[in-house]
Amino acid sequence: MTTPDFRLIDAGTIAVLTPQTDAGTDWVEEFIPDDHQQWAGGVVIEHRFVLDILTGIEGDGLTVAVNGRS
């Protein structure tokens, strides 16, 4: 089993996208603005932007593991 490039956690009003590989970290550095909010090593994303970001990630051939709320 390979490690996904990102882990996405739905935290209710926000989502947290955490790079898990070097390719994921590189993607964040290239496509996420420098002034983004961070939490626990991940990028904080408003829900209205999640689909567009996931589409971009997957369009670039990277993978995302999604964890739902507990």
Please indicate, yes or no, if residue 70 is contained in any of the structural domains.
no
* Owning domain of residue 40: 20-63
Give me the number of domains the chain comprises.
1
Q: What are the tens digits of pLDDT across the range 5-56?
A: 999 999 888 999 999 999 999 999 999 999 999 999 999 999 999 999 999 9
Q: For residue 70, what pLDDT is reported? A: 36
Q: How confident is the model at residue 69 (pLDDT cuts 50, 70, 90)?
A: very low
Please indicate, yes or no, if residue 68 is contained in any of the structural domains.
no
Please indicate, yes or no, if residue 36 is contained in any of the structural domains.
yes
For the entire predicted model, the pTM comes to 0.89
Q: Which of 42, 34, 40, 38 is nearest to 65 (CA)?
A: 42
**Contacting residues for 60 by C-beta, under 8 A, at least 6 apart:** 27
